[in-house]
Amino acid sequence: MIAARFLLTIICAFTVFGHCVRADESIVDSSASTDVDYALKIKGTISAPSPNGPITLPLESSGKFRFATHRFPTDVGGPMAIRAVREFQLAETETVVAKDHRTRLTLSRPYRFLHIFGSHTGLEQVSPTYLLPRRELDLIQMPFDVLATDSLAPPSIAAVEAKSWNTDSWVVPMLSGLQAVAEQSVVCTLKEESREKLVVSFQGKAEGAVDGSGSTLSFAGEFTINRETRIISELKVTQKEKRSPGPVSPGLDVTIEVQWTQKPTRRTDKPVTAVMATDAQRRLVVRTPVQLQMKVGRDWHVFHEAGQTILLRQLKDGELISQCNLTRAITVPPGEHTSDAEFLDNVKTLVAESKGSVVNQETIRDDKQWRVRHVQAVGDAGGEVIVWDYFLCSEAGGRQFSLLFSHARKDEKKYANAAGEILKGISLMRTKPKLPFQ
């Protein structure tokens, strides 16, 4: 989350740490360098589909994060004002579902130095050197990030004197992770004031959506501003959220507890940038169970993994646009591939079940590394015209992979040849990679 810049509006009306505050100073330092210890606990239930209908399972999760953050002030306001670099010393979570399914995730060392930018859709985190894997990005999406919490600080001396203030509409999504908000409100109240600190309580609620899943949430907590260092030194907050099952995520009914402390540190010596991340930097790596590696946009999400199959879904503005089914195909001798005629027959058999027909076929790539054969078909699904793009990807060593992209004809512009962009950057995973994916 991103450090918002708050300008004081009344000149010399308030004394902070021994000198008169100027109108161009913020109550919270927008150029601070800090060390943060962050802890997260989640408890509740998760709703997931099953062959016998939806099931509800108990869920418990915990996370620990330790990192240094350096903020950069800018001349713009709102969420775009947030510019920072962050270096993680620790980032790990452990999740237990139904008491016996345990998952532990840890941020890999090459991805621990990140650039962070504020946007109207939340915090964007990118590595200046490597493309982030999808799993690593999901791991570091922390509710009530210290950068977002800066936006809860008093926006002016007048707010401190009034002892109560509201926040801008972009703040709740930045704090909670909501991507679309229908209704929201936050009220901050000055609870305690002294020469050393300000203690602020806050509470809020919102209705919106995350990755196409409807969400209703409320939160309440408090934070302390150290007047000498001009940083929020600690925060405690509890958030309750109910989220409906969506196109890429299960339903949730959870209580989230966040607690962190923050203290000043030295400025980073790492190279930094003040410009927004490029489209190339924002792309993610998806590593599959069949040893194929793909570069995808951030609108792609891993929906399901089982054995030799992985299912990804593409969302835009919370709407399901397309789906990709990836499986391992038959292995052939090095330098060979399944014949085009056999691949075409296989596709015809598959689409015949949905009364579809083949409309195009071509070889879209044929080089020393890959040969990619494409067969496109269309059909009808409940009155909706569906486009199926089948790809057979044959690598030089004889391994083959089958990818099926499907989307509704009406979503053609939003789909925007997503398959073609992904297939430009496929590669085989190294067993023991020497370097992260670049």
Give 160-209 pLDDT, tens digit per residue: 889 999 998 899 989 998 888 889 999 999 999 999 999 999 999 999 99
Burial class (CB in 10 A: 0-12, 13-18, 19+), 63: buried
64: Cα within 13 Å, side-chain hemisphere: 4
Query: Which of the four pLDDT bands, split at 50, 70 and 90, describes residue 13?
Result: very low
What's the confidence (pLDDT) of residue 267? Answer: 61
Over residues 243-272, the mean pLDDT reads 85
Q: Is the dihedral of CA 7, 11, 14, 16 positive or negative?
A: positive
Q: Where is pLDDT greater, at 208 or 121? A: 208
- Distance between CA atoms of 186 and 237, rounded to whole angstroms? 13
Which run of H or of E encompasses 15?
A: strand 15-16
Query: What are the start and end residues of each CATH 2.30.230 domain in the chain?
Result: 15-264
The token pair that represents 39 in the structure block: 């802890």
> 283-428: which CATH topology?
Protein Transport Mog1p; Chain A (3.40.1000)
Residue spans in the chain of domains classed CATH 3.40.1000.10: 283-428
CA 423, 425, 428, 429 dihedral sign is negative
> Residue 115 has what pLDDT?
92
Confidence at 272, pLDDT banded by 50, 70, 90? low
pLDDT above 70: residue 438: no
Across 53-78, average pLDDT: 90
Closest CA to 318 of 206, 186, 182: 182
* Interval 411-428: pLDDT, tens: 999 998 899 989 988 999
Q: pLDDT band at residue 21, thresholds of 50, 70 and 90?
A: very low
At 177 the pLDDT is 87
- Rounded CA-CA distance 436/428 in Å is 13
- Residues forming beta bridges with residue 200, ordered by sequence position: 190, 223
110 burial class (0-12, 13-18, 19+ CB within 10 angstroms)? Answer: middle
Q: What is the mean pLDDT of residues 371-394?
A: 93
Q: Are 256 and 40 in contact (CB under 8 A)?
A: yes
Cα–Cα nearest to 371, from 412, 405, 329: 329
pLDDT recorded at residue 385: 92
Across 40-64, average pLDDT = 89
Residue 281's φ and ψ, nearest 5 degrees, are: -65, -30
pLDDT number for residue 96 = 95
**Cβ atoms of 401 and 329 closer than 8 Å:** yes
Q: What integer is the mean pLDDT of 208-217?
A: 91
Strands 132-133 and 284-287: parallel
pLDDT, the chain, mean:
87
Q: What is the pLDDT of residue 3?
A: 32
Q: What is the pLDDT of residues 296-343, one digit of tens each?
A: 999 999 988 877 889 999 998 888 999 999 999 999 999 999 999 999
How does residue 255 score in pLDDT terms, banded at 50, 70 and 90?
Answer: very high
Q: What is the pLDDT of residue 273?
A: 53
The CATH label, of 2.30.230, 1.10.1060, 1.10.287, 3.40.50, for the domain at 15-264 is 2.30.230
Average pLDDT over residues 238-244: 96
Section 269-289 average pLDDT: 76
Q: What are 323's strand-pairing partners?
A: 313, 406
Q: Where are the beta strands (DSSP E) in 161-308?
A: 164-166, 180-193, 197-210, 213-226, 231-243, 251-264, 284-287, 292-296, 300-306
The pLDDT of residue 436 is 57
For position 338, what pLDDT does the model report? 97
Residue 18 has what pLDDT?
29
Instruction: Give the mean model confidence (pLDDT) for residues 95-123.
Output: 91
Query: How high is the pLDDT of residue 269?
Result: 58
Range with the largest mean pLDDT of 61-70, 206-215, 314-323? 61-70
| Res. 12: pLDDT tops 70 | no
Higher pLDDT, 275 or 20: 275
Average confidence (pLDDT) over 125-154: 93
